[in-house]
């Protein structure tokens, strides 16, 4: 069967690991991102999802790339994390985070759903912070809660379409985004891993395997899946 993965933000981290895995499984992989994915054979569609008119600039190229795929896995992975609190958050910051983490996914759904046949899937990458909160990450927490609501609404809207959806909530994962957010202080990482049952960060490949499993199993529909190595509750 002719199958395609359409994924946002596959140039690094979880997205890159996911692109590699699906390519190994024979999927045509299409990356929608500002930066290219260096996996052999990946079709890179250059798009800045922060721009409100991003779809106008790449729609024709994207639809041509998906082409005659009989089944699609659409993975909403691109995201940004900023540092702010309820006391100092700027409206522009919140708008940007919501545009990339939530709105762009909705726009991509609208664009691609007419091409998605039975057995296709829409996988949202939320976060542990889609179900809880920490300080100093105000916009990101809001957006990842919204992603879970977006997935649940998707499930209801697509009832009967034979397209399934789920939200995967990675815990602390060893990615560039996490490193940029936390900095290089080893004590911070020790504090984090002390509250993880397996005492380590998750690897992007582990999250990619979870995405793959979810995309292949329509029984997982409307579900929120934690992928965090077990968190120690205090």
In the chain, what are the domains?
3-175+203-226 (3.40.50.720)
Position 199 scores a pLDDT of: 86
End-to-end CA distance of the chain: 48
Asked if residues 204 and 16 have their Cβ atoms less than 8 Å apart, the reply is yes
Asked if residues 165 and 158 have their Cβ atoms less than 8 Å apart, the reply is yes
d(CA 37, CA 8): 10
d(CA 9, CA 108): 13
Closest CA to 134 of 231, 203, 49, 199: 231
Per run of 10 residues, the mean pLDDT along the chain (length 234 residues) is 96 96 98 96 97 95 96 97 96 98 98 98 97 95 98 98 98 76 68 83 94 98 96 80
Position 97 scores a pLDDT of: 98
Asked if residues 208 and 174 have their Cβ atoms less than 8 Å apart, the reply is no
């Amino acid at each position: 069967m002719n199958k395609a993965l359409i994924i946002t933000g596959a140039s690094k981290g979880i997205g890159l690991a996911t692109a590699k895995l699906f390519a190994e499984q024979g999927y045509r992989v299409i990356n929608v991102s500002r930066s290219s994915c260096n996996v052999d054979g990946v079709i890179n569609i250059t798009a800045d999802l922060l721009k409100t008119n991003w779809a106008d600039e790449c729609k024709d190229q994207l639809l041509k790339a998906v082409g005659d795929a009989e089944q699609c896995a659409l993975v909403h992975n691109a995201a940004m994390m900023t540092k702010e609190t309820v006391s100092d958050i700027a409206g522009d910051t919140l708008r940007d985070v919501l545009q990339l983490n939530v709105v762009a996914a909705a726009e991509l759904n609208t664009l691609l759903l007419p091409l998605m046949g039975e057995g296709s899937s829409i996988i949202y990458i939320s976060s542990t912070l889609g179900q809880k909160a920490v300080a100093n990450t105000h916009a990101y927490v809001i957006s990842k809660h919204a992603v879970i609501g977006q997935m649940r609404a998707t499930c209801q809207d697509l009832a009967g379409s034979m397209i399934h959806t789920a939200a995967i909530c990675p815990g602390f994962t060893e990615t560039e985004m996490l490193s940029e957010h936390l900095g290089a202080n080893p004590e911070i990482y020790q504090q984090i891993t002390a509250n993880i049952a397996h005492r380590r960060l998750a690897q992007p490949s582990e999250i990619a395997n979870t995405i793959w499993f979810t995309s292949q199993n329509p029984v997982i529909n409307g579900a929120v899946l934690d992928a965090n190595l077990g968190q120690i509750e205090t």
